[in-house]
Amino acid sequence: MITVGGIGTILIVSLIFFFLAWVIAPLFRGAGFGAGESLATLEGGPPVELGLDVHGAQLWGLTPSGVFEVHELPTGVEVSSHRPVDAALGDPTSLTVGPARRDLCLGFGDGTVVWGELEFRDGFLAEEEAAALDSASVELEVGERMPLGEGILERTPLGALRTTEFVVEMATPVQPHGEVGVVHCDVSTAPDGKVFALLTEDGRLSIGRVRERENMLTGEITVTASAIDLPYEERPGAGWPEHLLLAGLGKRVFLVWDDGEVQHYQIDGEGQPSLVETVGLLPSGRNLTAFAPVLGKNTFVVGDSAGGLTAWFVAGSSELGPSRRLVRGHELPEVPDGWATSIASSPQSRTVAVGTSKGAVLLRQVTTEEALGSAPGFADVDAGEERAIASLVFDEQEEQIVVVDHAGTIGRLSGGLHHPESSLSALFRPIWYEGYERPQHVWQSTGGSSEFEPKLGLTAIVFGTIKATVYSMMFGAPLALLAAIFTSEYLRGQTRSSIKSTLELMASLPSVVLGFLAATLVAPFVQDRLASVLVWFGVLPVLLLTGAYLWQMMPRQLALRLSGLPRLLAVTLLVLLSFVVARWTGPIMERVLFSGDMEAWLGGRVGSAEGGWALLMLPIAALVTTLFFGRVVAPRLRRSGQDRGHSAQARVEFLKFVLGVFLCLAISAGLAVLLGSGLGLDPRGSLVGPFSQRNALVVGFVMGFAIVPIIYTLSEDALSSVPGHLREASLGTGATPWQTATRVVLPIAASGIFSALMIGLGRAVGETMIVLMATGGTAILDWNVFNGFRTLSANIATELPEAVAGGTHYRVLFFAAFLLFTMTFILNTFAELVRQRFRKRAYQL
Amino acid sequence: MWLTAGALALGLFMVFGLLGVVGWNGSRTLWPRSVVLAQTASGDAYLGELQRQDSFVPGADEYSRLGQRADGIRARLAASGGVSQRRLLRVARPGPEGENYNLWIPDFDLAANAELGPETVAKWSESLLRPEWAMTVERLSGGRQYGLLAGWIEDGEVVETDPERAWGLFEARMGEVESLRRQTRRIERDEVGSINDRLERLRLAQRRAELNSGEGSEAVREAEQALADYREQSIEKLDELAAQVRESEARGESFELLLESTDGRETRLPLWGIVRAFPPNRLSLGGKVGVYADRTWEFLSEDPRNGIQEGGLFPAIFGTVVMTLLMSIVVVPFGVLAALYLREYARQGVLVSAVRIAVNNLAGVPSIVFGVFGLGFFCYGLGKGIDELFYAERLPNPTFGKGGLIWASLTLAVLTLPVVIVATEEALSGVPSSMREGSYACGATKWQTIRRIVLPRAMPGILTGMILAVARGAGEVAPLMVVGAVALAPELPFALEFPEFGVNRSFMHLGFQIFELGFKSPDAEAAVPFVYTTTLLLIGVVVLLNVLAIRVRSRLRKRFLGS
């Protein structure tokens, strides 16, 4: 029984790993669409546009004469046919259907433009009602369908009777340009209504909108169209453009010619229309073979006669301005055999299905430039009679693609796109998102509209995790190690164990408490007294060292007698004193180096670069000075000092230290002048930058505080497990306790300390609450100490409760957790192995 | 060497500093503060509680607000480098529903200071009045109201205008109203609640019958009948209860406290909506201690009010304790079994040491990862399965397929499992093999040896592990955010209902409360002191558990050494 329980527990443990892996696995599965089956053949040849209902039971095709023919699938039986406008208008000269298959825009030879919305409408019928309409409905089994009136009746899995009917709702026709034939028209939905773009045979291009006003008294509806003309430039010899696209919210129009030339028009913020640019979409010698806007209508995909596929959008933010240019954002994997004849956008994501001249269907993710998969076409059509795809369409769930080839054969491919936005490269490589200026690492998982594209760049978040870890280790590790050395080498007995257990108690402090204090206490304090806080990092060691040198000058007898608790008290006093000194010198430094206002200096508003360099170079200067004194001055002093007495030597040492401090300041000032004025470099913008209240310094400080206990305990254990006889031998040969600690004990305990650091690192990587509460939470890639960041753990904690189970976002968050899990697991395993080796070695000694 | 000592001193300083800050701020939140009257130079008067003070440099907009007084004040502040002191006052808009807001009052803006010469700034304490009958009234909703006690109203008529006697009447009536309110709450929560529960159950029974035997079947008709019958019965009962509630409410509303605000307007506060009222400036030390104790008791035993910013945290305390209990019930047996297996049964080899490393490392895996696992595996995996099997009639509303107490406990159990395993293993390895061999030599079986000899000896270690696990579990928040902790739960996660006993409900948790209040509260100025108190409580619990662990360990160790 115990064996079962034990093994069971261990299974649970490994379950975590496999469960996470199992959840994230679908992210990296490509799209799977099997070979298609041909269903039926349409009599009148291929339609211009296609649409599917959500149940995959009906297909509409829009014929060149502007008639919607609705067919039942898979039989292909015609269910109904709709002519949305008066037949007297004749055949439309322009037909446009939006990428989501909802918006329709028709233009006619007499200048009439009309738009509408397409919908499959569901309704439910009671048994009796259905039987009254058609007695055959009683015998309908679950999943079976039959035509009923203008629609289709189906028995759902729950046994209800559902009718689905195709409905076209058209707006009132308008003639914005008078009775001039329409060449192209397009319609978009802006927040305040429909916007249309129109090109007529008199060479007039305009963007306009239509207002419907209802007269309150008569109930009469008056329709007024207002339009802004764009300066259309004719291309002599090239004829009319092949396509017109009204992009985004209706401020931008693209005219695309057959040879790949595109004219880009816009109406800017002041309402001024202009031709922004003329761009060639294709290499010379190629022709445009397919053109389609993708979801959101801000990006369009073009296919050329050599099989190339490219996606274009306007770079820069969605605001209007002269610098917004059309760019080739993505080059999608080419069509391997033949060329694209038709492109369909998915209604859910920036994914397109490409129908080729050889009858195959290819799937391409536009944003990540991934080839998601391909289907060879209809399995049951003989390879000899390859037929080009005329038109194709996704269903709502991205689970079916219906295609129609040039012979009018309807084919259906079933499968799934799964998670098209995610792949390893999409998660970690910079991605050029629609509207951005350049490829970037962006994390923005949720947005307002259904057309929003989730941006799941994990790199910035992983970077934030590393930044948090580095800064907190910079603060916590030295503190913990130094404290551990003191505890193990200088303290004995009761004091030691009580101090140790106090610090260990700190480990059990809930991190939410630390996070709360960081946000309410530390962050405002740091903002208020930024200069003092920074100065304090320098003041504390200087003061402590001063104390040490002064202590040396005391008579030896007295020093020995006071070496216990009084000394520790003196140190504590010095620590307290350092706060006072820093509080006092901080504003002075701020005035001297940073023009009196550090926040403004960081924001780049006042001051020069030297001030920042002087502060940044201080640690380097200190290192240089220490090396110089250690290698050059100290040996000479020692040699010449052999005949000096103890106190005289102490005085010389103290003098040396004071000189060192000044030298250090001088070096950093010199470096600052050299870097700032000499080389003209400015530290702002890289290591330091604009200040935000919740920043990496605060997190580093508080999280450092959080990891101190664990590093302290483990390294103290490592230090005190160094056998006593080694220490005694060293002391016996005349070494001071400090020399013993640094030259004998530390090297032996090094691997143990290393593993302690590793474990502390692991703790810092996964810390959630402190980061969550003490940082701004924006995912940015920079090392600025005074800026916030977003870490994997905080990201999971904030976003997971809102993520839809099973969705891409949800699984990507699981992937983030998996990353954290593996990162810490590797760190910890490594630390554990090192520690075991250390134990063995310490045991051998 | 001084550096190392400095580091240690700094570490200790930070620990005690942190505990000191939390202790000081946390314990003074509930202390009744005096209500002060601040009269500004522009003629406004504010009555409220003094929060804190700081120094600031008035900006250009501040001066422009002052109008013609600006020059004089600028001159006066020039002596101190343009820096002035200011105080934060928490005041309330007049009216029974008047909400609280915070107001900074600069020293130079005080009426008393305006009359003084240009060089002197009067002490704040001198320029403030502490009216004797200034009242602090804590309301059920809308925070606190401040005002001067002006009278006592019964049935809409002012019967007393002398504050002293009005206060006496209030004290005499408050007890009665409080007991009426308790009774009403009991009626609403227990009696009406149980009727509604029963109705819901019957409705679900009908739905279940529909699912099981199809629409229109015999079982469905029976269930429908039962539901209709009970509905009929309960309507009468519900009406009766509602009448009772209305009666108490009317009684509670008939007494009103009349307050006068600083602008002379009168505010009538019905006793029904008053939790506590007192004249802080008149209170003796004993009286203040009394209010403090009363508030502390409310904090520990009542539901939160005014959002979650005031009142009590009993649901959060309860949630934390129940969750931790459930967690230890799960984690201890499993942890001990695993450790026993690893130490006593498994053959020591590469595999076992690999497993041991893995278990050790699991202790270092970030807690949020466990939260993610818990959400995916327990809530959306197990929970959804249970829903589909047993609670199909409630779908699509999830019963177990969402965050809840049980899943939070299980998640934390997995999280703390390594702690228990490691501690138990260590304890087991501390049992000398001579004792084991002795037992075998007496003819005991392996199981007997473990049960009678090894386990008792290892008990201190196991207990320590358990307490450490509990301490870690009680303080952990990140995973709970994902698996079911909420800021304000409508019900306690416990009920005498078969079979789920309410463990599937969302729950409140002290740590999560700190996060919600301290991080997301719209009125941070008011929330922060309350968070400090919550923090103090949480730290208290965690530290207590840790100290307990250390005590238990040393005591048991001593006992074994003695034997």
Q: Residue A530 pLDDT > 70, yes or no? A: yes
| Arithmetic mean of pLDDT, A570-579 | 86
Q: Residue B285 pLDDT > 80, yes or no? A: yes
For A791-828, write each residue's pLDDT tens digit.
Answer: 888 888 888 888 888 888 889 999 999 999 888 888 88
* Percent of all residues in chain A with a pLDDT value above 90, rounded to a whole number: 3
pLDDT for A178: 82
Helix (H, G, I), strand (E, B) or coil at B56: strand
Partner-chain contact B12 A502, CB within 8 Å: yes
Q: Residue A456 pLDDT > 80, yes or no? A: yes
pLDDT for B199: 84
Q: Cα separations (Å) of B159 from B155, B166, B254, B257, B274? A: 9, 9, 12, 11, 19
pLDDT for A386: 61
The angle, 0 to 180 degrees and rounded to 10, between the axes of the packed helices A459-490 and A696-720 is 40
- Beta carbons of B208 and B393 less than 8 angstroms apart: yes
Judged by a CB distance cut-off of 8 A, whether residue B470 touches chain A is: no
Return the H-helix or E-strand segment holding A729: helix A724-732
Q: Where are the alpha helices (DSSP H) in A106-224?
A: 127-133
pLDDT for A378: 65
The minimal CB distance from A10 to the residues B8, B344, B355 is found for: B355
pLDDT for A66: 85
CA angle A658, A660, A662 (to 5 degrees): 75
| Arithmetic mean of pLDDT, A594-605 | 74
Judged by a CB distance cut-off of 8 A, whether residue B549 touches chain A is: no
Choose among B102, B96, B89: nearest CA to B522. B102
The minimal CB distance from B15 to the residues A19, A506, A772 is found for: A506
Sign of CA dihedral A426, A430, A432, A434: positive
Judged by a CB distance cut-off of 8 A, whether residue B460 touches chain A is: no
For A696-714, write each residue's pLDDT tens digit.
Answer: 888 888 888 888 888 888 8
Partner-chain contact A796 B335, CB within 8 Å: no
d(CA B322, CA B406): 10
In this predicted model, which residue has the larger pLDDT, A264 or A379? A264
The string over B58-74, giving b where at least 16 C-beta atoms fall within 10 Å of a residue's C-beta and e elsewhere, is beeebeeebeeeeeebe
The minimal CB distance from B341 to the residues A6, A540, A766 is found for: A6
For A226-263, write each residue's pLDDT tens digit.
Answer: 888 888 888 888 888 989 998 877 888 999 998 888 99
Q: Show residues of chain A in contact with B387, CB under 8 Å.
A: none
d(CA A516, CA B535): 9
The residue type found at A464 is G
pLDDT for B122: 53
Q: Show residues of chain A in contact with B7, CB under 8 Å.
A: 478-483, 486
- pLDDT bracket for residue B215 (50, 70, 90): low
The angle, 0 to 180 degrees and rounded to 10, between the axes of the packed helices A808-844 and A746-766 is 170
- Beta carbons of A189 and A245 less than 8 angstroms apart: no
Partner-chain contact B11 A479, CB within 8 Å: yes
d(CA B6, CA A479): 9
Q: Show residues of chain A in contact with B383, CB under 8 Å.
A: none
Partner-chain contact A820 B376, CB within 8 Å: no
Rg (CA), chain A: 37
d(CA A84, CA A82): 6
Residues within 8 A of A (CB atoms), B 28-47 only? none
- pLDDT bracket for residue B127 (50, 70, 90): low
Question: Chain B residue with minimal CA distance to A3?
Answer: B341
Question: Chain B residue with minimal CA distance to A477?
Answer: B7
The minimal CB distance from B366 to the residues A576, A738, A766 is found for: A766
| Arithmetic mean of pLDDT, A7-19 | 78
Judged by a CB distance cut-off of 8 A, whether residue B9 touches chain A is: yes
Lowest mean pLDDT of B188-197, B363-372, B472-481, name the range.
B188-197
Q: Residue B118 pLDDT > 70, yes or no? A: no
Partner-chain contact B373 A801, CB within 8 Å: no
Sign of CA dihedral A599, A602, A608, A609: positive
Helix (H, G, I), strand (E, B) or coil at B534: helix
Chain A nearest C-alpha distance from B88 (Å): 17
Partner-chain contact B371 A7, CB within 8 Å: no
Q: Cα separations (Å) of A326 from A252, A300, A452? A: 11, 11, 20
- Does this model's pTM top 0.90? My answer is no
DSSP string, A499-529: HHHHHHHHHTS-HHHHHHHIIIIIHHHHHHT
Q: Residue A472 pLDDT > 70, yes or no? A: yes
CA torsion A572-A577-A579-A583 (nearest 10°) is 180
Chain A nearest C-alpha distance from B540 (Å): 10
Report the number of secondary-structure helices (H) and strands (E) in chain A.
Answer: 22, 33
Chain A nearest C-alpha distance from B440 (Å): 19
Partner-chain contact B9 A762, CB within 8 Å: no
Q: Cα separations (Å) of A160 from A72, A157, A782, B224? A: 20, 8, 58, 22
Partner-chain contact B515 A512, CB within 8 Å: yes
Lowest mean pLDDT of A6-20, B148-162, B246-260, B486-500, name the range.
B486-500
Residues within 8 A of A (CB atoms), B 369-388 only? 369-373, 375-377, 380-381
B140: left (phi over 0), alpha (psi -120 to 50) or beta: alpha
Residue B396, preceding peptide bond in cis (omega within 30° of 0): yes
Phi, psi torsion values for A264, nearest 5 degrees = -115, 110
In this predicted model, which residue has the larger pLDDT, A19 or B398? A19
Question: Chain B residue with minimal CA distance to A756?
Answer: B364
Q: Cα separations (Å) of A368 from A354, A364, A417, A456? A: 16, 9, 14, 11
Token pair of A241, please? 């453009």
Output the average pLDDT for chain A: 82
The minimal CB distance from B4 to the residues A16, A485, A762 is found for: A485
Q: Where are the alpha helices (DSSP H) in B363-477?
A: 367-373, 384-390, 405-429, 433-441, 446-448, 455-475
Partner-chain contact A509 B337, CB within 8 Å: no
Question: Chain A residue with minimal CA distance to B8?
Answer: A483
Token pair of B326, please? 């459930």
pLDDT for A301: 92
Cα A614 to the chain's mean position, in Å? 36
Q: Decide: residue A123, CB within 10 A, 0-12 exposed, 13-18 middle, 19+ buried.
A: exposed
Per DSSP, B313 falls in state -
In this predicted model, which residue has the larger pLDDT, A70 or A130? A70
- Beta carbons of A594 and A531 less than 8 angstroms apart: yes
- pLDDT bracket for residue B262 (50, 70, 90): confident
**Contacts for A812 with CB less than 8 Å, ≥ 6 apart:** A27, A422, A427, A445, A456, A458
For A291-314, write each residue's pLDDT tens digit.
Answer: 988 888 888 999 988 889 999 988
